[in-house]
Structure 1
Amino acid sequence: MNYRYGPDAIGAALERQAEILYVIGGLYGNLQALATVEAMARAESGPVTLCFNGDFNWFNVDDAGFRTINEHVLQHDAIVGNVEAEFGAAADVAGCGCAYPESVDQAVVERSNRIHAQLKRTAVRHPDLMERLGALPMVARYRVGTARVGVVHGDAESLAGWRFDVTRLDDADDDAWRADAFTRAKVDIFASTHTCLPVMRRFKHDGEKLVANNGAAGMPNARESRFGILTRIGAAASPHASLYGHFLHGVHVDAIAVRYDDPAWQRSFLENWPEGSPAWLSYFDRIANGPDFRLENADNIGEP
């Protein structure tokens, strides 16, 4: 219940102005991806607001990696994901707070809880960062041009919600819920992550609306790919090639590849999570080969 905020909280959040907004969800402790995102922002022609919308920690269980990721992220805008939110749970409570759907194998759930337990042991050695992470909000709100943007980790209701997952966004039974969420949140665009697979869908709810879920900035998002994805929202077109995107309310909303140094990232991952470890069992095939997902399924509805 403490993960729930609801669309009214998004509608009441302080609105910040941004010329170009990068929404970077699911960095997962990937230092190489972080460096790439920062370099991409420097290549833009105008000022860029970076918003890390949760789960920027995960594989970074080494003290140096934990500190570097969080010190960099906390220089920018950020909201908590379930990974960061669970740092504040009691020491004897084991769980990543992922709220996986029932289709996820129980072995995956158990390994995620073990990963988080190890990360949490690292986090408590950095009380200054824990204090700052504990003060982060669960939602953020922006105005980019004339477009109103609500940034969440999960969905419009909950930090760990799955209704912005690729499957649920194609479910007509959720049309009324989405329409109500856009209205009450007072936004034209929802930017999310959490579900670990990318999707962008356009809807007609009192005008043009859009949900942009970047999947993961710090891991591959499609089979045989070696890059993460961030969501870029800006009045001007991106200098970086768009994987797919839409133009609405006077702004470009694009999925942009985060082409990090993959060999360096794999070496870094294996130093913390060698073969046979929980993270290796759950994630190394995805890191090396990408998930069983085709990128064309991320955006198959509406005009580009």
Structure 2
Amino acid sequence: MPPGEALADAPGRRCPLHYRTRPAAFAVEAPAHLQGLEVLYVVGGLYGNELALDRVLDLFDAERGRKRLVFNGDFHWFDVDPGRFARVQQAVLRHEALRGNVETELADPDAAAGAGCGCAYPDWVGDGVVERSNRILERLRGATTPDQRAALGALPMGLRADVGALRVGIVHGDPTSLAGWGFAQEHLREAAHRRRVAGWFDEAQVDAFACSHTCLPVFQAIAARPGGGPRWVLNNGAAGMPNVSGDLAGLLTRVSVRPFDGPARRFGTVAGGVHLDGLAIDFDPRAWMARFRRDWPPGSDAHVSYAERIARGPAYDAAEIVRADG
């Protein structure tokens, strides 16, 4: 079964048919307000972290020129307090936003449809993680109002944007599914899978895909079209959680005609004269852990699944993020 498909017919692993998309859907002109950009921020996996949200907005406010900020899904997750949920949603929807699997399942009026959290977890993710994620989603649904859920359901699953001459497709998972794992760093290690991804780029006629969903960051070069440079998968991992061992910052993807001037740049590359960077979202980790534990105390589902990562970062090395095709 190809990467990005659900590997078992169970809630949390199932990929609903209405999640499916086509790479060719991105072979269109970008909307007028997303053309000619000088700076594009793509922020995936905020997970309801208000401290990270404040830092993202500070970084974006400091940018100059024609700019856009896109939250590409799963901006809700830990924010089970109704007041926090409302504040996060209000701030996010002032900017461009896509719905991830979290927002899609919150908006689904048929909550018993069997998708669970909608994560479409692959087989390397244990059943305990899947079951806890399903219960987190159910608890989060209790923090919402009908109007909030309707607003989430109205969000698109993908966007096209142009930064300088670089054509960018923005997705939550991958261009075949809202919850696809085709841009996971694990799958992108495989040469055969990268060839499949190159076909997606050919169909989409873009130079980069910005994504998240899979929780670990990777900037992966993909084989060039004849006469062109490499295409890039730009996966920021998570904006609201640590992404590498020993570094407790979240990450966002910045695409710009100008280099980033500041200490927040953690890694990056240049494609067609456009700068592709991963920026650190530095927030007070102790303050965030205290807020997290108020809603998710020890023994709760989110605490079991995420507290270790929030406290120490995942077992993933920063040197693994930017990768050549080969």
Kindly indicate whether residue 154 of structure 2 is the aligned counterpart of residue 121 of structure 1: no
* Distance in 2, Cα, partners of 1:42 & 1:193: 22
Kindly indicate whether residue 186 of structure 2 is the aligned counterpart of residue 163 of structure 1: no
Kindly indicate whether residue 100 of structure 2 is the aligned counterpart of residue 84 of structure 1: no
Select the residue among 3, 6, 9 that pairs with 2:25: 9
| One-letter identity of the residue aligned with 2:299 | G
Kindly indicate whether residue 316 of structure 2 is the aligned counterpart of residue 280 of structure 1: no
1:22-64, CA deviations, whole angstroms, 9 ceiling, x for partnerless residues? Answer: 0000000000000000001122233431100000000000011
| One-letter identity of the residue aligned with 1:80 | R
Normalized against structure 2, the TM-score is what? 0.89
User: Closer, same or farther in 2 for the Cα pair 1:79/1:92, shift >3 Å?
Assistant: same
* Distance in 1, Cα, partners of 2:220 & 2:111: 39
* Distance in 2, Cα, partners of 1:172 & 1:91: 38
Equivalence for 1:176: 195
* Distance in 2, Cα, partners of 1:81 & 1:109: 17
Segment of structure 1 superposing worse, 171-180 or 185-194: 171-180
Equivalence for 2:276: 253
Tell me the CA shift for residue 80 of structure 1. Answer: 0.6
User: Closer, same or farther in 2 for the Cα pair 1:287/1:57, shift >3 Å?
Assistant: same
Kindly indicate whether residue 95 of structure 2 is the aligned counterpart of residue 72 of structure 1: no
Tell me the CA shift for residue 155 of structure 1. Answer: 0.8
Equivalence for 2:121: 100
Asked whether the 8 Å contact 1:13–1:140 carries over to 2, the reply is no
Select the residue among 312, 323, 326 that pairs with 1:289: 312
Kindly indicate whether residue 161 of structure 2 is the aligned counterpart of residue 142 of structure 1: yes
Segment of structure 1 superposing worse, 110-119 or 3-12: 3-12
* Distance in 2, Cα, partners of 1:50 & 1:275: 34
Tell me the CA shift for residue 13 of structure 1. Answer: 6.5
User: Closer, same or farther in 2 for the Cα pair 1:63/1:88, shift >3 Å?
Assistant: same
User: Closer, same or farther in 2 for the Cα pair 1:253/1:279, shift >3 Å?
Assistant: same
Normalized against structure 1, the TM-score is what? 0.95
Select the residue among 105, 112, 121 that pairs with 2:133: 112
Kindly indicate whether residue 250 of structure 2 is the aligned counterpart of residue 231 of structure 1: no
Q: Which runs of 5+ in 1 are unaligned?
A: none
Q: Which runs of 5+ in 2 are unaligned?
A: 1-16
Segment of structure 1 superposing worse, 254-263 or 87-96: 87-96
- Give the root-mean-square deviation of aligned CA atoms: 1.5
| One-letter identity of the residue aligned with 1:12 | V
Asked whether the 8 Å contact 1:53–1:81 carries over to 2, the reply is yes
Q: Alignment partner of 1:141: what SS? A: strand
